[in-house]
Amino acid sequence: MLVPSKIHHRTCRVSCERFVPNTFGLLCWNVYKKNRKHPGFEPFIRKLTREKEIDFILLQEANFRDDRHCVLPDFAFDAAANLEYRGEFYGVLTASRVESGDAQAYLSEGKESFLGPHKSLLINTYPFEDGSILLVLNVHAINFRENKRYFRELERFLELMKQHNGPMIIAGDFNSWNKKRLEKLHRLKEELALNRVPFKPIDEVKSFMGNHLDFIFYRGMELLEFSALNNQGLSDHNPLFAQFRKES
């Protein structure tokens, strides 16, 4: 189905942490729909979360079902579906060691093409112990459309996020494969006073014609460490890792 029967999916069958730790790790990855089907995915991501002390996992093109955990049974997750096929859903998924306080799933206003699907995006909030709120937007931006439609979708991101005054992370696959798209993305970053995790051209970040497609933006936190990790043949994108410390 091009329009899924249910857009927002949520599972928390574990005893989650109450607060986001002041220092936390985040993984962002377009997994090419292989997170449930490829036998190597689960051991790989378990190893990463343990070694990198990851608290948040933002997946794009994730495969999920309501009646099953995410591949990490000690994480809660919210997901926004943009496709459904034979009872399985696909879209963006945000898994976390802290259960989200609020989550909103959206479909893009435009479709990928005349007959194509919408894209999905997901906004979650998570509390710090001091009472401040971390807002996380997981993005898989529209791809096979004209720049004008792409710009309208980014402006919608801005409208959804600009009322939040606290710490923020916007991350995902932005399909920013030309100069004009990158310029519009930069203006969004400036309007929200975001910093960009500074992956370099030499880093193995998914690119098209020399333009990075995957990004992690943030504010209200100090960036401690970051790296693009080898995907081990599990996707056509490499996972992006960043570690942050909340500003006092």
pLDDT at position 219: 98
Q: How many residues does the chain have?
A: 248
The tokens of 143 are what?
């791809």
Contact by Cβ (8 Å): 21, 127: no
Superfamily of domain 8-246: Endonuclease/exonuclease/phosphatase (3.60.10.10)
pLDDT at position 165: 94
**Cβ neighbour number for residue 150 with a 10 Å cutoff:** 24
Say whether pLDDT at 69 is over 60.
no
Most confident region among 73-87, 143-157, 177-191 by mean pLDDT: 177-191
Instruction: Kindly report, residue by residue over 221-242, the tens digit of the pLDDT.
Output: 999 999 999 888 889 899 999 9
pLDDT at position 138: 97
- Rounded Cα distance between 68 and 58, Å, is 18
Where do the domains of the chain lie?
8-246
Mean of pLDDT over the chain: 90
Q: In 3D, which of 44, 38, 81, 85 has the Cα closest to residue 60?
A: 81
Which residues share a beta bridge with 143? none
pLDDT at position 135: 98
- Rounded Cα distance between 93 and 125, Å, is 14
Task: Give the list of residues 6+ apart from residue 138 with CB closer than 8 angstroms, or none.
Answer: 58, 59, 60, 80, 92, 93, 94, 121, 122, 123, 124, 171, 172
